Amino acid sequence: MSFLTDWILWIIGFGTLVVSAWAFIDCIRARPDAFPAIGRQSKGMWLALTGGATLVSLATFSPIGILGIASIVIAGVYLLDIRPKIAEITSGR
């Protein structure tokens, strides 16, 4: 592959790692009682999913392939669906 292609894939891989780590850290900080309150899986399940996504992103460092895609999807679902609902519940609004 060319230098440009390698560089672009490295940036996307790094972005996947950062996003999945952000989701995992945010999940660690969330209150455990908020997850059942929003009607989602338990905190333990989301910790396993986002932690696994972070480990896969770190191990493969490649957004190409089923594991890379699954990592970004899991992190995206947490950050775009679960996190806002937890913030709404915990802020008291």
Cα separation of 26 and 87, whole Å? 11
**Greater confidence, 91 or 52?**
52
> What is the DSSP secondary structure assignment for residue 82, as one 8-state letter?
I
Task: Tell me the pLDDT tens digit for each residue of 22-81.
Answer: 999 999 999 999 999 888 889 999 999 999 999 999 988 777 789 989 999 999 999 999
Confidence of residue 92 (pLDDT cuts 50, 70, 90): low
Query: Is 8's pLDDT higher than 70?
Result: yes
* For the chain, domain boundaries: 3-88
User: What is the reported pLDDT for 1?
Assistant: 64
User: What is the reported pLDDT for 44?
Assistant: 95
Per-residue tokens: 78: 């947490």
